[in-house]
Structure 1
Amino acid sequence: MAPRAAVVDLDGTLLHGDTLLPGARDAMAAIRERVEHVVFLTNNPTIPPEAYAARLRDLGVEAAPDEILTACTATIAYLRAHHADDAVFAIAADAIVDQLRDAERDLVADPAAAECVVVGYDPGFDYDDLHAALRALRDGVGFVGTDPDRTIPTADGPIPGSGAIVNAVAGVVERDPDAVLGKPSRETAELLLDRLGVPAEQCVLIGDNPETDIVMGERVGMTTVRVRTGIDGGRRSENEERADHVVADLGAAAALLD
């Protein structure tokens, strides 16, 4: 296998939380020696690319902000393409709202003024937010989720993620979202390929999650490699059979690129 570009998932593949997985630093150096382009991919919508890149550099991993593609980055790109001038009401954590504001989206505090509603991870999500969603999501108002992850793995066990909140809102308004960004959405895959500037068949995607990483890579025709370093301990999935390669860790994935 001799790809021109590598897409590397972050949590569960390169990192566990704020800690590099064993051998990950050397593995990334080896991957960079073998490909022309690298992009790091994550469904975490709360951390901006600049902060992710700084975190990786502090850990000794080469990374630039334009090499980080997050679920919030993909959401902002979708809003620019489909809701460029719309008033946006966000049901999401402050860290997500801040990124929307920095991207110069027209944010409104009154749900009745919404022309598009963005729903994402929010540890403070409550009944009042569901009521606000009912007020905001009238006929013709856009409904966008940042990512589909129903749970987020942590050292203390899974916690509810963006997908759980998106599903709760969808249930109360009796309507599916117009789009849910992040992996494995086609919109995010297309944004990724545009950033890489390399045809999908010349890319390898390395990740630990069969339901998001592997499905997205397969969807656009990338070579897919599943690593067994995810916090689920490499639990088998029906989508695992769809991966082109299954290996122990990122170091083993790097060796495939020789």
Structure 2
Amino acid sequence: MAILAFFLAHWYLSLFTQTFFLHRYASHKMFTMHPAWERFFFVFTFLMQGSSFLSPRTYALLHRMHHAYSDSELDPHSPHHSNNAFTMMWKTKTVYQDVLQRRSVAAKRFEDNIYPEWVLLENFAHRWYARLGWGLLYTSFYVVFATAWWQYLLLPLHFLMGTVHGAIVNWSGHKYGYQNFDNRDKSRNSLFFDFLTGGELFQNNHHKLPLRANFGVKWWELDPTYPVIWTLNKVGIIRLKRPVATVA
């Protein structure tokens, strides 16, 4: 039971930081927040993603490239230019490293300095010893609480949690499901209620309405991250830039 609880907590908390902080805030600036809260969520993202921490600046630039070149050969992670999800994510890793190290010429078009950046923390989080430390922490928890050998098979998912989320969203969200809009790309809505990826699999909706904080647009499309955003807006932690209207 402890292992299952730990895995689910890591899955959903890491997922929340990716969709809330890296995607909706860093990449699209759907809402604003005080610099102190930005630092809080920066640290929270590092703690929740752990060994698979992704730089908000780098994530933002890759994601902006993805929107600009959706499903073309210039898209950093389109499933339609890779044989499988593993080769797609390896390509993404290569582009990520180029952007992280500021070697990417293509990314310069999307540089506007409107994204959270904390060089000291980001540099530390990407060091091999930081990632190794997180891996040892996850492994130690399993050594203490695992009750069966097969539970250790979950450990690689902990090590690569952010990458796993990205692979699911980018592969499935542009390959399987239905379309509400003709976006001139292959984006799809893979689930009616996206409980697995926090609303991220409403890709077709998001590519049509990239600044909309609620990724669900039909009344029956439920984005589980949006109620959290709505609540944080109401209590003043964040401020949504625009109201979310209902789309019939």
- After TM superposition, the score normalised by the length of structure 1 is 0.29
More strand by share: 1
- After TM superposition, the score normalised by the length of structure 2 is 0.30
More helix by share: 2
